């Protein structure tokens, strides 16, 4: 049995004594059985320790799963509208603590404060949306093909949901998964990314305060290998929802497939913006710069390819470079900052590798280097916003997800070539087109092979009440958000109630002609 820790409500941001936070299991804050911890640090200044977090292992996961199983019968028996009321309270608490949560997020994840506020807001939005689902959760009520018979379908919870989340939306994504899982009557074991455990702790504190019964939501911090894999392997966790890289997603999929688990995967993207000759270039430049360099390019929906018609390319590029040059790099907590740090040193190295490739195979027109010599930025993971011209669709720069502030420009002769280039990737999350021609816009809505398409807006900015997710290698067909998210966490049950008081045989007794024939044959009729 692990040691019980004092419940800890953090004042957010970095605390001077770098506190230690527990797992949250069965309604209690607990130390890991192994006693090991790991640190989380501020990516804008890695000298600042956010806190120490439990390095969980399979034994901690087993305890969390047990707690979630124990909480399941009472939670699934709680009427869905009542479950929704607790979700609503959680959303209201997030709204009340929005600024505190956003500042903590900026400290731990690095994104600029306005974007952290947006991340928290997404959590609030999904909490309210799913609270409402507690009073809807539509199934079908349809006529039966037989007389005196009732036909309907309802959703029911699957069981314990294992949720594995990334660092780039450290509050929105856990909420996107927890809220639909909970409102539909599942209980949860959450494993957040090891770069942002504090954000998860802060959320779970509010989960507790909102009144979710003990064991309904359990948090286990620690590595993918030691915590993530045991969750996926657990025979008592029948549904897994994962957001992260393709590599990890495929590994999880292989394990889940062997155990026939329900699995929702939201993986990478290589999102493109098509700019037509008739586009409003000022509008396009604003959308491209925001989509490419917002969140330092670390959004799954970030734009990393601009596919521009040749006659417009030089004019667009000149404006893009001009606007990019004005972006201010710095800590996300500084109101003057446009672009914050990358999440960690490995991310800087990855972007640097692709910048090297760009130098060899294409042409860097702005940026291209890590920044560690400017005053105030020496201890952070900063990289210049970078634009590369002359990229071909099948180049690695045009194909690989870089997940940083590096934008490739691909020049094409016409719309058809633009569509080919846009779709020539293994991913299919988000896309956009800038055009003033309605016909072209509608063709793009039809032709772009992505789960999200924007017209005259960048590739980012999804709203929580529509399905979110991608085609092809971006996922496995499931969706977050909207009522589509309920499909991940529920089993359908079709129910037939026969109140005729006699045997009725579907597909047999409903054929009017046969019925007549049978009546002729034996005088009794099929019924």
Q: Which of 275, 467, 330 is nearest to 43 (CA)?
A: 330
Q: Rank residues 137 and 265 by Cβ distance to ligand NDP and give the closer one.
A: 265
Mark the segment that binds ligand NDP (CB under 6 A) among 5-13, 186-194, 432-440, 514-522.
186-194
- Chain positions 372 to 431 lying near ligand NDP, rule: CB under 6 A, are 401, 403, 429
The residues in 468-527 that bind ligand NDP, with binding defined as CB under 6 A, are 474
CB 302 within 8 A of CB 271: yes
The site for ligand NDP, by CB under 6 A, has a size of 30
Nearer to ligand NDP, 162 or 287 (CB): 162
> Which member of 10, 223, 456, 476 binds ligand NDP (CB under 6 A)?
223
Beta carbons of 22 and 5 less than 8 angstroms apart: yes
Give 448-502 as a DSSP string.
--SSEEEESS-S----TTS-B--SGGGBSS--BSTGGGHHHHEEEEEEEEE-SSS
Say how many CA atoms lie within 13 Å of 366 toward its Cβ: 20
Q: Which is nearer to ligand NDP, 94 or 252 (CB)?
A: 252
Residue closer to ligand NDP by CB (options 177, 483) is 177
Q: Shortest Cβ distance from residue 13 to ligand NDP (Å)?
A: 21
Residue 251 makes contact with ligand NDP by CB under 6 A: yes
Q: Which stretch binds ligand NDP (CB under 6 A): 158-166, 326-334, 383-391, 412-420?
A: 158-166
Sites for ligand NDP among residues 159-178 (CB under 6 A): 164-168
Residue 229 or 418: the one with the smaller Cβ distance to ligand NDP is 229
**Which of 241-249, 321-329, 406-414, 500-508 is the region at the interface with ligand NDP (rule: CB under 6 A)?**
241-249
Taking the CA of residue 385 as centre, how many other CA atoms within 13 Å lie in the half-sphere pointing to its CB? 26
Active site positions, annotated = 266, 300
The one segment of 60-68, 130-138, 224-232, 412-420 that binds ligand NDP by CB under 6 A: 224-232
Count helices and strands in the chain by DSSP H and E runs:
16, 23
Judged by CB under 6 A, the chain residues 34 through 93 that form the site for ligand NDP are none
Q: What angle do CA 305, 306, 308 make, to 5 degrees?
A: 145
Look at residue 198 and give its three-state secondary structure: helix
- The residues with which 160 forms a beta bridge, in sequence order, are 187
139 versus 461: smaller Cβ distance to ligand NDP? 461
Report the SS3 class of residue 527.
Answer: coil
Residue list 299-358, contact with ligand NDP (CB under 6 A): 300
Residue 264 C-alpha from the chain's centroid: 10
Please report whether residue 197 would count as binding ligand NDP according to CB under 6 A.
Answer: no
Q: How far is the CB of 246 from ligand NDP (least distance, A)?
A: 7
Distance between CA 272 and CA 463 in Å, rounded?
A: 19
Residue 27 buriedness (CB in 10 A; 0-12 / 13-18 / 19+): middle
Of 50, 207, 237, 252, which lies in the binding site for ligand NDP, with binding defined by CB under 6 A? 252
What the block records as the tokens of 155 is 């959703």
Stretch that binds ligand NDP, among 17-25, 91-99, 220-228, 312-320 (CB under 6 A): 220-228
Nearest CB to ligand NDP, comparing residues 58 and 417:
58
Of residues 266-305, which lie at the interface with ligand NDP (CB under 6 A)?
266-269, 300
**Cα(483)–Cα(186) distance, rounded to whole angstroms?**
16
Tokens of 332: 């996300």
Rounded to 5°, the CA angle 408-196-106 comes to 70
Range in contact with ligand NDP (rule: CB under 6 A) among 71-79, 225-233, 333-341, 362-370:
225-233
* Residue 248 touching ligand NDP (CB under 6 A): yes
Query: Could you tell me the end-to-end alpha-carbon distance of the chain, in angstroms, rounded to an integer?
Result: 63
* Identity of the residue, 401 or 447, whose beta carbon is nearer to ligand NDP in the bound complex: 401
Can you name the residues that pair with 25 across neighbouring β-strands?
28
List, as one string, the DSSP characters of 204-224: HHHHHHHTPPTTSEEE--S-I
Q: Which residues bind ligand NDP (CB under 6 A)?
A: 164-168, 191, 193-195, 223-225, 228-229, 232, 243-245, 248, 251-252, 266-269, 300, 401, 403, 429, 474
């Amino acid at each position: 049995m692990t040691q019980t820790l004092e419940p800890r409500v953090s004042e957010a941001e970095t605390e001077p004594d770098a506190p230690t936070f527990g797992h949250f299991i069965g309604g209690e804050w607990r130390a890991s059985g192994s006693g090991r911890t790991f640190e989380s640090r501020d990516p804008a200044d890695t000298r600042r320790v956010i806190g120490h977090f439990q390095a969980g292992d399979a034994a901690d996961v087993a305890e969390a799963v047990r707690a979630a199983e124990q909480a399941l019968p009472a939670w699934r028996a709680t009427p869905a509208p009542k479950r929704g009321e607790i979700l609503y309270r959680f959303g209201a608490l997030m709204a009340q603590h929005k600024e505190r949560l956003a500042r903590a997020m900026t400290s731990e994840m690095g994104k600029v404060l306005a974007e952290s506020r947006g991340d928290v807001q997404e959590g609030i939005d999904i909490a309210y949306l799913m609270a409402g689902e507690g009073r809807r959760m539509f199934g079908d009520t349809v006529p039966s093909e037989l007389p005196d018979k009732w036909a309907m379908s309802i959703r029911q919870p699957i069981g314990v949901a294992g949720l594995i989340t990334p660092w780039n939306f450290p509050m929105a994504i856990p909420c996107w998964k927890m809220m639909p899982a909970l409102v539909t009557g599942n209980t949860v074991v959450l494993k957040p990314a090891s770069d942002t455990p504090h954000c998860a702790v802060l959320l779970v504190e509010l989960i507790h305060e909102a009144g979710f019964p003990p064991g309904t939501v359990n948090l286990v911090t620690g590595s993918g290998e030691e915590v993530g894999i045991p969750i996926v392997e657990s025979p008592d966790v029948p549904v897994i929802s994962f957001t992260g890289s393709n590599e990890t997603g495929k590994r999880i999929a292989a394990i889940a497939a062997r155990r026939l688990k329900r699995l929702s995967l939201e993986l990478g993207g290589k999102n493109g913006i098509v700019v037509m000759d008739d586009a409003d270039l000022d509008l396009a430049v604003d959308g491209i710069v925001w989509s490419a360099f917002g969140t330092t390019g670390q959004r799954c929906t970030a734009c990393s390819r601009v596919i521009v018609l040749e006659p417009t390319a030089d004019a667009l590029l000149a404006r893009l470079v001009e606007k990019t040059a004005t972006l201010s790099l710095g800590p996300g907590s500084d109101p003057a900052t446009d672009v914050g740090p990358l999440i960690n040193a490995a991310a800087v190295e990855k972007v640097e590798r692709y910048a090297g490739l760009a130098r060899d195979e294409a042409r860097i027109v702005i940026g291209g280097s890590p920044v560690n010599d400017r005053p105030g930025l020496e201890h952070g993971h900063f990289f210049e916003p970078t634009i590369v011209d002359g990229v071909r669709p099948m180049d690695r720069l045009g194909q690989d997800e870089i997940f940083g502030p590096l934008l490739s420009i691909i020049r094409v002769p016409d719309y058809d070539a633009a569509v080919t280039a846009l779709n020539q990737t293994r991913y299919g999350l988000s896309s956009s087109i800038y055009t003033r021609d309605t016909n072209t816009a509608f063709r793009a809505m039809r032709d772009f092979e992505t789960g999200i398409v924007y017209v005259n807006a960048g590739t980012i900015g999804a709203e929580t009440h529509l399905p979110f997710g991608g085609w092809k290698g971006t996922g496995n067909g499931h969706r977050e958000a909207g009522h589509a998210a309920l499909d991940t966490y529920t089993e359908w049950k079709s129910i037939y109630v026969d109140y005729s008081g006699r045997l009725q045989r579907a597909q047999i007794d409903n054929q009017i002609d046969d019925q007549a024939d049978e009546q002729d044959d034996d005088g009794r009729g099929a019924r």
